[in-house]
């Protein structure tokens, strides 16, 4: 199975049973909320999402590879575990960079909205 097929399957079951073996041990991760390096930190972040985000779903709209770069376009949605369980949705894209061994060495997420827009979703639109 090639990396695009693996990623498609990971998106379908996100955040459950992700294929961490496609990531380099020192993978760099960045999104509008956090930035860090290391597969263990990445696994902890996914574990946090799995534990605290309700009804979490990642819809993959497009995936394409050009040489050592993969771009995925997606929408992440969930309910936040507040008493009123607000529905939250973030659309964006990821830029994944592969090393010579086809391991992901960089995973940078971009959102089509601001952090403030996401916060506002918790209190009505």
Residue 124, pLDDT score: 78
Interatomic CA distance for residues 10 and 5, integer angstroms: 9
How large is the average pLDDT for residues 109-115? 96
User: How much is the pTM?
Assistant: 0.93
Quick one: pLDDT band at residue 35, thresholds 50, 70, 90?
very high
- Are the C-beta atoms of residues 39 and 24 closer than 8 Å to each other? yes
Extents of the domains making up the chain:
3-121
Handedness of CA 115, 120, 123, 125 (dihedral sign): negative
Residue 1, pLDDT score: 82
Look at residues 91, 110, 95, 93 and name the one whose alpha carbon lies nearest to residue 31: 110
How large is the average pLDDT for residues 59-78? 98
Quick one: pLDDT band at residue 125, thresholds 50, 70, 90?
low
Cα-flanking dihedrals φ and ψ of residue 25, to 5°? -60, -35
Determine which helix (DSSP H) or strand (DSSP E) holds 109, and give its type and residue range: strand 104-111
Q: Which CATH architecture has domain 3-121?
A: Roll (3.10)
């Amino acid at each position: 199975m090639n990396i695009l097929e693996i990623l498609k399957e990971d998106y379908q079951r996100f955040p459950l049973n992700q294929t961490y073996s496609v990531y380099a041990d020192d993978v760099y991760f960045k999104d509008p909320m956090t930035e860090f390096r290391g597969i263990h930190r990445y696994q902890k972040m996914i574990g946090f999402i799995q534990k605290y985000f309700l009804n979490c779903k990642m819809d993959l709209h497009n995936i394409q590879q050009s040489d050592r770069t993969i771009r995925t376009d997606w929408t992440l949605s969930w309910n936040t575990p507040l008493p009123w369980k607000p529905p939250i949705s973030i659309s964006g894209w990821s830029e994944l960079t592969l090393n010579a061994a086809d391991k992901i060495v960089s995973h940078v997420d971009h959102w089509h909205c601001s952090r403030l827009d996401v916060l506002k979703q918790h209190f009505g639109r």
